[in-house]
Amino acid sequence: MAMGYPTLLLVLLGTLAIADANYINNSVYDTRIAPEDRVMVCYYGTWAVYRPGKGKFDVEDIDVNICTHIVYGFACLKNGKIASYDPWNDLYDNYGKGAYLRFTGLKEQNPNLVAILAIGGWNEGSKKYSQMAKTQESRAKFIASCVEFLQKFNFDGLDLDWEYPSQRGGAPEDKVNYGLLLEEMRPVFDEHGLLMTAATSPGKQVIDPAYDIESMAKNLDIMNLMAYDYHGAWDNFAHVNTPMYQHHLDVEEPNIWFNVDYTVQYYISLGFPANKIALGTASYGRCFTLQKSDDHDIYSPAPQAGAQGPYTREPGMLGYNEICEKFMQQEWTVVRDEETLVPYCFQDRQWCGYDDLDSLTIKINYAIQNDMMGAMIWSIETDDFQGLCHDEAFPLIKHIRRELLGGGDVTIPTPPTPTTTTRDPSLPTLPPTTSTTTTPAPPTLPPTEVCHREGLNTDPQDCHSFYECHTVGDHWEYFHFQCSAGTVFVEELQLCDFEAAHPDLC
């Protein structure tokens, strides 16, 4: 039987989050943001269209009334210009699905909705962006291509998700060139009425060498602060991926920096205005396979990623929709950690840290108290978008939006949970293994095995999936995609088609 989290505990945690004046610094802000002016930025990971069953999510599944800004992820950089990442899904060309225009067409249902196109992301890397930003000429070429591209598909702005300047194959001068890119982009975008936003790292070890904060503060309309992925299976120990505050075992760098409060206050201390920050939240959990089933605290040894979910199918990660379904179907123990102020759950050797309604209440309260611009979520398609676990669809996003608007008589749907327990205060003394990245690198395969042409290539090991391949210099860059259930990839057609129509492919 599903149980709600104790109301008393929610009140207690909320009090802990807002009562200590050391956590709040309103003296640096000139103005307060009215509730109706706070933003709710929702990213859409478009590869969700290839997920199976109840996890499949297409443009038309977006609720146009719960977000102020919707962000399409992602476009890519090709030959120094912005380009479609997945032409078959993005464009109408060659019998494509035309998701770009369908996405911006959602504004017809809600004229106040802002539709933004994100370029970059983890899989894009940094090297080509470093090359693009290197000279005034190459920056101008990129900026002009963005204006043309955004106008062609009716987007309202660009979200620059370069991960990250001066990192992952970038150059030390990227920090300066990133600032110049924003400086030169601003007047051109203003001329055409386009917004400029950027997704930024939460890690101090990335922030310092990557970002020209002065240029960002001056030129960005919104900074989408990715305050998640502080921890994951790459750590080899269990930890929550979105800690609000520091855990007492976070005693070494960079782990002492890996919490929302530190990240926000660090950006503010560098001069970035809080009233331009959308606080990032996660509608997914980072998951681990514990070394021992009876050792399940934060920092317990976890040598492997958690088991993949039925929809996202990525080891070490579960969408909130997958987590809440597990709670409905199985017996899991949920612990509400009183230091990080976020929950984690475990069953046998499986362990996941995630955000729920209660922890999001604390974070949005924090954002409001710090006069931040609003909130951001990655991503809309891993919320409980069908309302299978709650009494409404998109419960996380709707709850955040209500809190941003001032709360009041908001009724929080009862989350489906098993028996809730209190964290055991006797924590292990395992020293943390430091990590220099806040996001796991995707797996790689030998390119000669998967890429034999520019564009889409059949997965040689699975007829139900395919690779998108691009030549970058003298090597291939490639990304893996899955066809929808019941379909196979037909390379001659460059699309996924019904399996029954192609019996010889598998």
Calpha distance 9→14 (Å, rounded):
8
> How is residue 486 written in tokens?
């019941």
CB 355 within 8 A of CB 319: no
Reported as type and span, the H/E element at residue 250 is none
Q: Where in the chain is the domain with CATH 3.20.20.80?
A: 7-421
Calpha distance 31→262 (Å, rounded):
22
pLDDT bracket for residue 471 (50, 70, 90) = low
Distance of CA 338 to the CA centre of its chain: 25
Model pTM score: 0.78
Residue 496 pLDDT exceeds 60 = yes
Task: Say if strands 495-498 and 487-490 run parallel, antiparallel, or are unpaired.
Answer: antiparallel
Give tens-digit pLDDT for 105-121.
999 999 999 999 999 99
261: phi > 0 → left, psi -120 to 50 → alpha, else beta; which?
alpha
- Look at residue 411 and give its three-state secondary structure: coil
Q: Mean pLDDT over residues 498-505, rounded?
A: 72
Q: Mean pLDDT over residues 459-477, rounded?
A: 76
* Residue numbers annotated as active site: 163
Q: How far is CA 310 from CA 53, 238, 383, in A?
A: 9, 22, 15
% residues pLDDT > 70 (the chain): 82
Which of 3.90.230.10, 3.20.20.80, 1.10.10.1100, 3.30.70.260 is the CATH number of 7-421?
A: 3.20.20.80
If you write DSSP's letter for every residue of 64-123 in order, what string do you get? TTS-SEEEEEEEEEETTEEEESSHHHH-SGGG---HHHHHHGGGGT-TT-EEEEEEE-GG
Residue 444 pLDDT exceeds 70 = no
Reported as type and span, the H/E element at residue 43 is strand 39-45
- Number of Cβ within 10 Å of residue 185's Cβ equals 22
- Tell me what pLDDT residue 503 has: 75
- Tell me what pLDDT residue 14 has: 35
